[in-house]
Amino acid sequence: MSGEEAPEAPAQQQQTEQEKQPDEPPAAASDAPQEPASSPAEEEVFSCRALVLTGYGGYDKVKLQVKTRSKPQLQAGEVLVRVKACGLNFAELLARQGLYELLPSPPVTMGMEGSGVIEAVGEDVKNRKVGDRVIVLSRSGLWQDVVLVPADQTFVMPESMSFEEGAALPVNYLTAYMMLFEMANIRPGKSVLIHMAAGGVGVAATQLCQTVPDVTVFGTASAAKHETIVQGGVTHPIDYRTKDYVEEVRKISPMGVDVVLDPLGGSDTQKGYGLLKPMGTLIVFGAANCVTGQKKNLLAMAKTWYNQLSISTQKLMQANKAICGFHLGYISDDQLIVRTMATLLELYNQGKIKPRIDSSYHFEEVGDAMKRMHERLNIGKVILLPEPKKEEEKPKSSPEAEDKADKTEARVSEEKKEEGNTQEVKKKKKKEKQLYSITLPRNNVL
């Protein structure tokens, strides 16, 4: 592709940055009624590890930071969750490049999904208790080892579900389910073209297609992943890197397909529309073509924008086709999310869906985790683990990833030293309070 970037720098192993601020009040308590100050000895010291986007750019912009502070106070309706695993989404690759409008500007803690154990519940929380294993969903802020969230943004995990699976489920499966069943109304005998079929959403969509009889799945993916996606339910795998997928689909199904799930944008949206059978549905839900590597590529963005599908309603009418857009982040109907999560957890219990974990990386290795997705190596979900990496521990990823991680240069990421200027110190402290707030705002569900 003409917009390709120069070879990327290796991902950096990140080192934690520790700062102690025992005197600073907990962010969660800042709006709460003032209580008598307890002596430092009485105050429970509380440490928080968070992955913070410190600016837009490459892998090194996401830093692991550790803060020590006094214990946060729960508000009514909230639960405190010890996070065990978090999901990495393509949206976070976009966000790191400044291309995801729903993430507040840096510095900000990223993370839209996670799983963990409830350690404390606030007043009025009736349906959650200490010890519950839960999935958590939010627009951002979940890449931390502990979070305060409204109880209604948590979903109790089935007993047999691992924390990695719990963290892998919500974003990918909600997206795939709502597109297939709410928008496309997939029915027996239909055919679906799934791009990025070996990725998180792709695997979820393929599994969900299997819950409907006789659905044919065309799936595009890099050739090395074909065996795995066929085992997962893809009927016709297509190597989009070496073949024209439109031709490949037409060789098998000259009329085209009933549904196209398009996470790519640009010229692929035009191709998808062209591949639709009459009465078919195209769902646009991403613009991965804007991303060619770790740094923002303006040429690729311009090309994607220039080639986007533009069509008059009259032409659409005459073609008998439907075009939809889907974005989970803009779903404001919380009940729809709660209902769909209940359906998905039921499907998991019935053994009909199961998140496929590609690899797990500790927070320290977030650059490697992102690199794995950028380099198109993952099959299924990439997971981030808040638990500190033990010295002797090998990466919990595939041998391929281990090899890459070995080659990765370790680099200490250092934040700028605090400036002596009092004004700047004040500003910095104010920002840090926001940054290390482990309370996620209400109505922050995706």
Ligand X SMILES: NC(=O)c1ccc[n+]([C@@H]2O[C@H](COP(=O)([O-])OP(=O)(O)OC[C@H]3O[C@@H](n4cnc5c(N)ncnc54)[C@H](OP(=O)(O)O)[C@@H]3O)[C@@H](O)[C@H]2O)c1
How big is the site for ligand X, counted in residues (CB under 6 A)?
A: 28
Residues 6+ apart with CB under 8 A from 229: 197, 198, 202, 203, 206, 219, 221, 237, 379
Part of the chain binding ligand X (CB under 6 A), chosen from 198-206, 274-282, 339-347, 391-399? 198-206
Which amino acid makes up residue 83? V
Out of 86, 275, 328, 401, the only residue in the binding site for ligand X (CB under 6 A) is 328
CB 417 within 8 A of CB 118: no
**Given its phi and psi angles, is residue 278 left (phi above 0), alpha (psi -120 to 50 degrees) or beta?**
beta
Shortest Cβ distance from residue 175 to ligand X (Å)?
4
Q: Is 257 in the site for ligand X (CB under 6 A)?
A: no
Element (H, E) at 359: strand 357-362
Instruction: In whole angstroms, give the CA distance from residue 123 to residue 101.
Output: 34
- Please provide the DSSP assignment of 157-226 as one string: PPTT--HHHHHHSHHHHHHHHIIIIIIS---TT-EEEETTTTSHHHHHHHHHHTTSTT-EEEEE--GGGH
Q: Is 91 in the site for ligand X (CB under 6 A)?
A: yes
Q: Both tokens of residue 67?
A: 């803060």
Q: Is 202 in the site for ligand X (CB under 6 A)?
A: yes
Shortest Cβ distance from residue 58 to ligand X (Å)?
14
Nearest CA to 65 out of 52, 55, 56 is that of 52
| CA dihedral sign, ordered 200, 162, 333, 320 | positive
Part of the chain binding ligand X (CB under 6 A), chosen from 144-152, 303-311, 321-329, 418-426? 321-329
Q: Is 90 in the site for ligand X (CB under 6 A)?
A: yes
Out of 95, 275, 373, 385, the only residue in the binding site for ligand X (CB under 6 A) is 373
Q: Is 64 in the site for ligand X (CB under 6 A)?
A: no
Residues 6+ apart with CB under 8 A from 398: 358, 359
Out of 288, 301, 369, 385, the only residue in the binding site for ligand X (CB under 6 A) is 288
Q: Is 175 in the site for ligand X (CB under 6 A)?
A: yes
Q: Is 225 in the site for ligand X (CB under 6 A)?
A: yes
CB 261 within 8 A of CB 179: yes
Q: Is 353 in the site for ligand X (CB under 6 A)?
A: no
Q: Quick one: 88 or 151, whose CB is closer to ligand X?
A: 88
Q: Quick one: 155 or 285, whose CB is closer to ligand X?
A: 285
Instruction: In whole angstroms, give the CA distance from residue 357 to residue 284.
Output: 25
Out of 53, 168, 208, 221, the only residue in the binding site for ligand X (CB under 6 A) is 221
Out of 12, 14, 73, 89, the only residue in the binding site for ligand X (CB under 6 A) is 89
Q: Is 286 in the site for ligand X (CB under 6 A)?
A: yes
Q: Is 234 in the site for ligand X (CB under 6 A)?
A: no
Give the interface with ligand X as residue ranges (CB under 6 A). Answer: 89-91, 171-172, 175, 196, 198-202, 221-222, 225, 263, 285-286, 288, 291, 326-329, 373-374, 376, 378
